[in-house]
């Protein structure tokens, strides 16, 4: 142990005697480790961001949205429908839109379905205690809260009676409570949405999510909405599925047709299947079912957010591997730099090696001395590289709004790689120094 300690002290003395050269040698490791930590931080941040999005949208979900076909699409679909219907070429196809009947059909026909949640979004005014704000009422069932991983901070969810009878009750988001009931419990109190007074029976737990994430996923901020039973929305607010004679004449009168009229009873339906392996097949079956029920008019869009995020995650992982390879190359270059400098140091210190050998140092002592030098330079470069990597990750997050999370394992990994680089690339110069002939080494001037 004493010999090892002595060899280590000799190595530190040699490094301190050539501080500038040691610093320049360690720069390659410094930037390499900094790059590795920064790249791993970006990869970890991206993965965490995708996991957070998974929590927002839920897992194993299929999202069906009602859309209004544009004029060209509607003509093409009408022509296709008329060609497929013998003797009815003069009849114009008509779609009832996304409705509760579609919801029931999806539950009946689709296998492996766990939950089906309807959504009806109504833009309205919210009034309470002389405060008036624009807001949204969303008609839902209790399945909505489960599918979106929403919990209550106060109160209760809808009872079967609330949904079946269309009771004027609501559950409010946390921001609604903050704006209208800042210093009191809202439970049991009345709040007016449009022309309808609603009794508050629950308050949602606050959902923390960045606005960018919500926009990327195409979902609303759940904290800003009021939630009412879907039957309440249809009975007491607006049922777009009720078609009158005036609606029909307006829709089919080509000279007075409004393409932006929303005739869908529901805005969105979310279907959860029991396993992710059924997502693609279930989405295909749902598309064929809805197309048949809507008279061959494709006035809906079907998305599988989890599959889209999985594809994004695979792309991100490939990108991370490329970044890690680039950072690894910089570490390799840094290791080659250490080996070159140590080889040059061996040539410069041949006489020193000869003196040590003549005074009783073994080849093992010489190997240890030069290895200690190489590893110490690598570790110092790795230490400052960790600092540089953490600083770079913070700069990336604050300046470019790219999520970067520095994890403990990435720091340990980078530090271990730095030590390994010094050890691996220091072995050859150390062995070369140990093999010097002491007699010849003493003759070198």
Residue 38 counted as domain residue: yes
Residue 117 counted as domain residue: yes
Mean pLDDT of 45-60: 69
Is 438 found in the same domain as 324? yes
pLDDT tens, position by position, 391-445: 988 888 888 767 788 888 888 887 788 888 888 888 888 888 888 777 776 666 5
Residue 62 counted as domain residue: no
In whole angstroms, give the CA distance from residue 231 to residue 190: 19
Is 179 found in the same domain as 46? no
pLDDT tens, position by position, 121-155: 999 999 988 889 999 999 999 999 988 888 999 99
Beta-carbon count within 10 A of 364 CB: 12
Mean pLDDT of 248-252: 61
Between 82-86, 231-235, 286-290, 331-335, the lowest mean confidence (pLDDT) is in 82-86
Task: Please tell me the predicted confidence (pLDDT) of residue 357.
Answer: 81
Is 162 found in the same domain as 103? yes
Is 20 found in the same domain as 85? no
Is residue 365 pLDDT above 80, yes or no? yes
Is 374 found in the same domain as 262? no
Instruction: Rank 39-48, 163-172, 201-210, 215-224 by mean pLDDT and report only the highest.
Output: 163-172
Domain boundary among 265, 298, 331: 298
Residue 227 counted as domain residue: yes
Residue 153 counted as domain residue: yes
List the one residue out of 187, 287, 186, 175 whose CA is nearest residue 220: 175
Q: Give 63: exposed, middle or buried? Use CB within 10 Å, 0-12, 13-18, 19+.
A: buried
Is 175 found in the same domain as 32? no
In whole angstroms, give the CA distance from residue 153 to residue 80: 52
pTM as predicted: 0.64
Q: Supply the range of the domain harboring residue 401.
A: 2-53+310-443
Is residue 60 pLDDT above 70, yes or no? yes
Residue 343 counted as domain residue: yes
Task: Please tell me the predicted confidence (pLDDT) of residue 138.
Answer: 94
pLDDT tens, position by position, 176-202: 999 999 888 999 999 999 999 999 999
Residue 123 counted as domain residue: yes
In whole angstroms, give the CA distance from residue 312 to residue 307: 9
Task: Encode the chain in three state secondary structure.
Answer: CHHHHHHHHHHHHHHHHCHHHHHHHHHHHHHHHHHHHHHHHHHHHHHHHHHHHHHHHCCCEEEEEECCCCHHHHHHHHHHHHHHCCCCCCCCCCCCCCCHHHHHHHHHHCCCEEEEEEEEEEEEEEEECCEEEEEEEEEECHHHHHHCCCCEEEECCCCHHHHHHCCCEEEECHHHHHHHCCCCCCCCCEEEECCEEEEEEEEECCCCCCHHHHHHHCCCCHHHEEEEEHHHHHHHHCCCCCCCHHHHHHHHCHHHCCCCCCCCCCCEEEEEECCHHHHHHHHHHHHHHHHHHCCCCCCEEEECHHHHHHHHHHHHHHHHHHHHHHHHHHHHHHHHHHHHHHHHHHHHCHHHHHHHHHCCCCHHHHHHHHHHHHHHHHHHHHHHHHHHHHHHHHHHHHHHCCCCCCCHHHHHHHHHHHHHHHHHHHHHHHHHHHCCCHHHHHHCC
Domain boundary among 298, 332, 364: 298
Task: Please tell me the predicted confidence (pLDDT) of residue 292.
Answer: 92
Is 402 found in the same domain as 276? no
Domain boundary among 298, 323, 353: 298
pLDDT tens, position by position, 296-352: 888 899 988 777 667 767 777 777 777 778 777 878 888 888 888 888 888 788 888
Is 284 found in the same domain as 330? no
Task: Please tell me the predicted confidence (pLDDT) of residue 259.
Answer: 46
Task: Please tell me the predicted confidence (pLDDT) of residue 20.
Answer: 87
Task: Please tell me the predicted confidence (pLDDT) of residue 218.
Answer: 59
Is 427 found in the same domain as 319? yes
Is 37 found in the same domain as 76? no
Residue 303 counted as domain residue: no
In whole angstroms, give the CA distance from residue 281 to residue 304: 11
Number of domains in the chain: 2
Is 289 found in the same domain as 372? no
Instruction: Rank 35-39, 54-58, 227-231 by mean pLDDT and report only the highest.
Output: 227-231
Is 25 found in the same domain as 111? no
């Amino acid at each position: 142990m004493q010999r090892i300690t002595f060899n280590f002290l000799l190595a530190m003395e040699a490094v301190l005697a050539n501080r500038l050269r040691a610093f320049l040698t360690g720069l390659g490791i410094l930037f390499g480790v900094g790059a590795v930590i920064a790249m791993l931080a970006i990869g970890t941040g991206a993965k965490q961001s995708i996991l957070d999005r998974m929590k927002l949208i839920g897992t194993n979900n299929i999202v069906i949205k009602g859309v209004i076909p544009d004029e060209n699409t509607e003509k093409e679909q009408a022509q296709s429908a008329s060609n497929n219907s013998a003797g009815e070429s003069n009849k114009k196809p008509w779609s009832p839109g996304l409705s509760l009947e579609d919801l029931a059909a999806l539950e009946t026909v689709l296998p492996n379905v766990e939950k089906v949640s309807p959504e009806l979004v109504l833009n309205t005014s919210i009034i309470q205690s002389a405060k008036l704000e624009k807001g949204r009422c969303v008609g839902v069932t209790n399945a909505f809260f489960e599918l979106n991983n929403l919990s209550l901070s106060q109160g209760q969810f809808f009872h079967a009676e609330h949904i079946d009878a269309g009771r004027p009750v609501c559950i409010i988001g946390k921001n609604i409570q903050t704006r209208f009931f800042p210093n009191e419990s809202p439970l049991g109190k009345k709040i007016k949405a449009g022309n309808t007074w609603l009794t508050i029976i629950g308050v949602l737990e606050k959902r923390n999510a960045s606005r960018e994430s919500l926009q990327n996923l195409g979902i609303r901020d759940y904290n800003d909405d009021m939630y009412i039973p879907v039957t309440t929305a249809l009975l007491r607010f607006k049922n777009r599925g009720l078609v009158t004679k005036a609606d029909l004449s307006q829709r089919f009168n080509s000279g007075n047709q409004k393409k932006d009229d929303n005739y869908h009873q529901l805005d969105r339906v979310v279907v959860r299947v029991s396993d992710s392996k059924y997502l693609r097949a279930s989405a295909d079956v749902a598309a064929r079912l809805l197309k048949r029920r809507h008279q061959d008019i494709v006035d809906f869009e079907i998305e599988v957010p989890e599959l889209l995020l999985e594809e994004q995650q695979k792309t991100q992982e490939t990108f991370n591997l490329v970044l890690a390879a680039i950072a690894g190359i910089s570490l390799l270059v840094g290791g080659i730099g250490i080996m070159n400098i140590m080889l040059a140091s061996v040539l410069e210190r041949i006489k020193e090696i000869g003196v040590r050998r003549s005074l009783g140092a073994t080849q093992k002592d010489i190997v240890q001395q030069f290895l200690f030098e190489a590893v110490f330079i690598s570790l110092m470069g790795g230490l400052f590289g960790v600092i540089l990597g953490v600083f770079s990750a913070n700069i990336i997050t604050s300046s470019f709004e790219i999520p970067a999370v520095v994890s403990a394992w990435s720091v340990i990994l980078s530090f271990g790689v730095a030590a390994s680089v010094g050890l691996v690339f220091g072995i050859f110069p150390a062995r070369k120094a140990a093999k010097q002939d002491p007699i010849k080494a003493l003759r070198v001037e």
